[in-house]
Amino acid sequence: MPAMIPLAAHIEGIGVLGPGFADWVSAAAILSQAAPYVPAATVLPPPLALPPAERRRTGPVVKLALAVGFEATTRAGIERSTLATVFSSSGGDGFNCHEICQVLASSDRQLSPTRFHNSVHNVAAGYWSIAAGATAAANVLCAYDASFGAGLLEALTQVAVERTPVLLLAYDTQYPEPLNGKRSISDAFGVALVLVPNARAGTLAKLTAMLTDSGAERMSEPRLESMRVSIPAARSLPLLSKLARRESGRVTLDYLRHVRLALEVEPCR
Amino acid sequence: MTPLRLTRFTAVSAVGCGLGATLASLEEQRSGLAPCAFETVDVETHVGEVPGVDSIVLPRALQSFNCRNNRLAQLGLMQDGFSEAVAASVAHWGPKRVGVFLGTSTSGILETELAYRSRVPATGALPKDFNYAATHNSFSVADFVSQALHLEGPAAVVCTACSSSAKVFASAQRMISAGLIDAAVVGGVDSLCLTTLYGFHSLQLTSRVPCRPFDVARDGISIGEAAAFVLLERPPAHLDDDAIMLLGTGESSDAYHMSSPHPEGRGARASIQQALAAAELAPGDIDYINLHGTATVSNDSAEDLAVTAVFGTHTACSSTKGATGHALGAAGALEAVICALAIQQDLMPGGLRTTKVDPKLTLHYLCENHRATVRRALSNSFGFGGANCSLIFGRAA
């Protein structure tokens, strides 16, 4: 077997948005039990970084991804235009998909061009690149319920192999009926991590990843555990909890049927 | 980067099922495009439909995955001893050391389109037998292929529209370089559906006639479908000289517009230059370029500027989309296989349907087949949202 490159990266910035989580600071307070968890529907801010013409066309997926991406990069103080990105989501814009399928099932199948271009899975990556002037590589993944693990693994291999900073954005939004009856996602949740190869003054923690057969860690708070299992991007919660509590040690995240992602976490400040 | 071996590759598209039929079509300059008669679609356009997809039966244990996209994937897996080659790779490396990275744009969305016609009248619910996760969801095809081939390594679907199945080569290469896996099944599967046929039509990007890449009268794409697979492996210590290798990958973003390329081909140029740098090659080392060449006015002019900025006007180029149609999320892998055939056969396939190359486009566009040594070939794939990828393939020696 060939030598493995340690799959390690340093976290420079975090962005979070979800039900009861307004940003990373409020999420960290809840996850470290400094503040109580108060359930509330996710509030998606308008994507102010986009030109007005583009802003009007964006749906919830773009608003969510841009919000967590800007939060994480602002906290990291990192230049966005040269930052490589990995986007990962378990599905696309459910409302947009519903509208398209309704039109295609009707007698008049004329689609709106905006609906069509918003239907691509990489819509958030396209708008991010425009909003951030980001011309580096952007990868866009889907691995259904394993999407957070797949995105993190892709981002970590980019950091480790290319020795380049990477912004990981994982996000999911709900589906309307009747799709919700077949694929239920409880609310919108997004997380973004700025991952860099070498520690700097502002580094939050070092992550080292490996594949494992062990089971994924659960959240002890039942409502947070319910969020973890009902939104694929919230499979990140056990990692976010460890980061919020500035604990060192191992955390295992959900990934595929045959394999999970074990992360060794070492806080840096 | 360290080159990887294309241990086995195969493709199914409108020009043929498997390498033999694909090569014969390329040699005879035969196009698979025909007037659209797909499903109930009433768009005046040509498509590259693969015959016989709907008669394919999935393995009994994987029936829940049954949809046109996975039937097309299954048809691909059955060609050229591909599944057997993967089984040998799994036996050699172990199932956890073989990953699967596939590209698609619409996966099995056709199932959802059809399900919306059969909603339960009283409740509006979708039919009971409709399975979102195993058909519509983008990951469905990777889950299906991974289970069909008994793989237990990392798996993901890349969804960057028309560059999806080019970018999978880069993801797999990084995972192999990192030592997480030793081999990967990469490729792309995209099948005809109403969303793309009506969607590209709404953007006025579909041509009424068979697409004419780089032609002065080009006026849009012809949508195709394809399944193309490559078994990428860490190369053994001793390689046959005629082994085909992945030599370099390049990826960039336009940061310009959701559905139009940067007019000067800024991102395209960056991805080409990155692929050359990764392969440690100079532009003069590339013998043939398989263009993205969609036959839209804007793609071909932007790609022309990008290619000529790097290569000048002498490197032989063509788009094979006049033969296969634009297989969207499967185009990158399909054209990677065509590049591998070009190298294996020393055949630069001429672009079909193009009668008068646009005089404003100055790259060296081949309208006829050209027999010459192809030691290295570059393939371009550019997607909506400005997602660009370039790949370089070459002979081992």
Please answer yes or no on whether A100 and B256 come within 8 Å at the CB atom. no
Nearest CA to CA, how far is B44 from chain A (Å)? 13
Which residue's structure tokens are 């590589």?
A137
Half-sphere exposure of A226 (CA within 13 A, CB side): 9
Counting other chains too, the contacts that A54-59 makes at CB distance below 8 Å and 24 or more residues apart are A54/A127, A54/A130, A54/A131, A54/B258, A57/A114, A57/A118, A58/A118, A58/A127, A59/A93, A59/A95, A59/A96, A59/A118, A59/A123
Contact residues on chain A for B252, CB-CB shorter than 8 A? 135-137
Query: DSSP state, B132?
Result: I
What pTM was estimated for this model as a whole?
0.98
Closest by Cβ to B126, choosing from A135, A146, A181 = A181
Catalytic residue among B17, B262, B292, B317: B292
Q: What is the pLDDT of residues B233-245, one digit of tens each?
A: 999 989 998 999 9
Position B258 scores a pLDDT of 85
As a CATH number, domain B4-395 is: 3.40.47.10
Catalytic residue among B36, B67, B159, B162: B162
Position A188 scores a pLDDT of 98
Position B67 scores a pLDDT of 98
Percent above pLDDT 90 for chain A: 91
Rg (CA), chain A: 18
Position B215 scores a pLDDT of 98
According to DSSP, the residues that pair with A85 across neighbouring strands are A138, A167
Maximal C-alpha separation, chain A: 61
Nearest chain A residue to B168 by CA: give it: A139
Helix axes B82-93, B68-77, angle to 10 degrees: 80
Query: DSSP state, A11?
Result: E
Position A57 scores a pLDDT of 85
Nearest CA to CA, how far is A266 from chain B (Å)? 21
In a mutational test of the A interface, the residue from B106, B195, B390 whose CB has the highest number of chain A CBs within 10 Å is: B195
Can you read off the two tokens belonging to residue B108? 């099995």
Q: How many residues does chain A have?
A: 269
Say if residue A53's pLDDT is above 90: no
Say if residue A1's pLDDT is above 70: no
Mean pLDDT confidence for B383-391: 94
Residue B164 pLDDT class (50, 70, 90 cuts) = very high
**Structure ipTM:** 0.97
Residue B370: active-site member: no
Half-sphere exposure of B299 (CA within 13 A, CB side): 31
- SS3 for B234-290 is CCCCCCCCCCEEEEEEEEEECCCCCCCCCCCCHHHHHHHHHHHHHHCCCHHHCCEEE
Say if residue A4's pLDDT is above 60: yes
Mean pLDDT confidence for B21-25: 98
User: What average pLDDT is seen over chain A?
Assistant: 95
Residue B262: active-site member: no
Mean pLDDT confidence for B139-159: 98
Mean pLDDT confidence for A64-81: 97
Q: What is the pLDDT of residues B165-218, one digit of tens each?
A: 999 999 999 999 999 999 999 999 999 999 999 999 999 999 999 999 999 999
Please answer yes or no on whether B113 and A135 come within 8 Å at the CB atom. no
Antiparallel, parallel or unpaired: β B226-233 and B223-224: unpaired
In angstroms, the CA B63 to CA B322 distance is: 34
Position B309 scores a pLDDT of 98
According to DSSP, the residues that pair with B45 across neighbouring strands are none
Domains, chain A, in order of start with CATH, read 7-267 (3.40.47.10)
Position A54 scores a pLDDT of 84
Sequence-ordered list of residues with C-beta below 8 angstroms from that of B285, at least 6 positions apart, any chain: B375, B376
In angstroms, the CA B293 to CA B152 distance is: 36
In angstroms, the CA B76 to CA B85 distance is: 13
Mean pLDDT confidence for A233-237: 98
Mean pLDDT confidence for A148-160: 98
Mean pLDDT confidence for B106-110: 98
Q: How far is CA A40 from CA A45, A59, A186, A187, A252, in A?
A: 15, 20, 12, 10, 27
Please answer yes or no on whether B387 and A141 come within 8 Å at the CB atom. no
Q: Does residue A236 contact residue A21 with C-beta atoms inside 8 Å? A: no
Which residue's structure tokens are 């799994």?
B90
Helix (H) or strand (E) holding B16: strand B16-17
Contact residues on chain B for A56, CB-CB shorter than 8 A? none
Helix (H) or strand (E) holding A12: strand A7-17
Antiparallel, parallel or unpaired: β B226-233 and B4-13: antiparallel
Q: Does residue A194 contact residue A12 with C-beta atoms inside 8 Å? A: yes
Q: How far is CA A35 from CA A15, A27, A194, A243, B280, in A?
A: 18, 9, 25, 16, 54
Say if residue B397's pLDDT is above 90: no
Closest by Cβ to A129, choosing from B105, B170, B386 = B386
Nearest CA to CA, how far is A47 from chain B (Å)? 15
Residue A3 pLDDT class (50, 70, 90 cuts) = low
Q: Which of B202, B69, B40 is nearest to B131 (CA)?
A: B69
Please answer yes or no on whether A143 and B167 come within 8 Å at the CB atom. no
Q: How far is CA B20 from CA A187, B25, B123, in A?
A: 50, 9, 50
In angstroms, the CA B350 to CA B347 distance is: 9
Sequence-ordered list of residues with C-beta below 8 angstroms from that of A164, at least 6 positions apart, any chain: A84, A158, A197
Closest by Cβ to A113, choosing from B155, B202, B385 = B202
Half-sphere exposure of B269 (CA within 13 A, CB side): 16
In angstroms, the CA B128 to CA B10 distance is: 36
Percent above pLDDT 70 for chain A: 98
Q: How far is CA B21 from CA B14, B30, B32, B166, B287, in A?
A: 10, 11, 12, 23, 24
Q: What is the pLDDT of residues A155-184, one digit of tens each?
A: 999 999 999 999 999 999 999 999 999 999
For residue A178, whether the previous peptide bond is cis, meaning omega lies within 30 degrees of 0, is yes
Position A202 scores a pLDDT of 86
Q: Does residue B45 contact residue B201 with C-beta atoms inside 8 Å? A: yes
Position A2 scores a pLDDT of 54
Nearest chain A residue to B387 by CA: give it: A138
In angstroms, the CA B98 to CA B92 distance is: 10
Residue type, B281: L
Nearest CA to CA, how far is B264 from chain A (Å)? 14
